[in-house]
Amino acid sequence: MEIIKVEHVHKSFEDLTVLRDISFSVKQGEVLSIIGPSGSGKSTLLRCITNLEHVQSGSITIGGNILVSTPVGGKPVYAEHKTLQKVRLSVGLVFQNFNLFPHFSVLRNITEAQIHVLGMPKAQARKEALELLAKMGLSDKAAAYPFQLSGGQQQRVSIARALALKPQVLCFDEPTSALDPELTGEILEVIKELAAEKMTMVVVTHEMAFARDISDRVIFMDDGIIAEEGTPSEVFSNPKNERTKRFLSRFGA
């Protein structure tokens, strides 16, 4: 079953076209990595899927709910509030710079949405949040505040926060780019574990070795288009596109 279906998406900021006719899909349990040079539109694509940006045309369907569709020759039509909320809750997003709530404890960062958005009873939210923290190896940090944690720990909290809403798909926007090199490993480890549990994921990353290891499929984006798409071995070991080759050679991958 397709969890994400993106068809002919166009996105531009004023005069700058960022996405040109992007189509792809993600199946349940699949891990898709999106790689490509800076400014190629990877993050924007993720932001369109998570409804942080509006598309100029095209359609996006998530978990069977239509987020946006564009009639032929018309303007894009976004879902009404109720469907929008459903779509929002079915996609989680982990940000590059965490965006934790600094005034909430680690525990409350996780439970706030469970309680106020899902309407979960407090005791249950707390129990589930503590389980997630244990899974992230942060059981002793429940009462801490974000500023007391390392970058890697903060990012693990933000992953727990996203998982707490039990999304059908979890998106990562360069989850290790804001971290010191020695801290990236712990985040990649967490993502690997989630992949082993068959969590559906879309990962925008600059970590080529990582993308090759965990992905079922890799998309290489360049200048707003999908220049190449395939299994990791196809894209990394046998790229067909010249731009992919040039990009990968720069990374020594």
Partner 1 sequence: MGQLLILMLQGTFTSLKIFFLTLLFALPLGLLVARGRMSRHRIISSLVNIYILIMRGTPLILQLIFVYFAPYYVFGASADRFTAVIIAFVINYAAYFAEIYRGGIQSISYGQYEASSVLGFSKMHTFTHIVMPQVVKRIVPAMGNEVITLVKDTALAQTIGVAELFRVAQNAASREFSTLPIFIAGVFYFVMNSIVAKSFDLIEKKLDYYR
* Contact characters 72-91, partner 1, x per CB under 8 A: -------------x--xx-x
Of positions 32, 45, 55, 93, contacts partner 1 by CB under 8 A = 93
Stretch that binds partner 1, among 5-13, 54-62, 143-151, 228-236 (CB under 8 A): 143-151
Minimum Å gap between C-beta 154 and partner 1 is 12
Please, which of residues 27-66 interact with partner 1 by CB under 8 A? 50-52
With binding defined as CB under 8 A, does residue 243 bind partner 1? no
With binding defined as CB under 8 A, does residue 217 bind partner 1? no
Of positions 101, 127, 150, 185, contacts partner 1 by CB under 8 A = 101
Of positions 41, 92, 224, 239, contacts partner 1 by CB under 8 A = 92
With binding defined as CB under 8 A, does residue 103 bind partner 1? yes
Residue 19 CA to residue 160 CA, distance in Å, equals 30
In the block, residue with structure tokens 């244990």: 134
- Give the pairing of strands 201-204 and 169-173: parallel
With binding defined as CB under 8 A, does residue 150 bind partner 1? no
**Site residues, partner 1 (CB under 8 A):** 50-52, 85, 88-89, 91-93, 95, 97, 99-103, 112-113, 116-117, 145-147, 161-162, 165
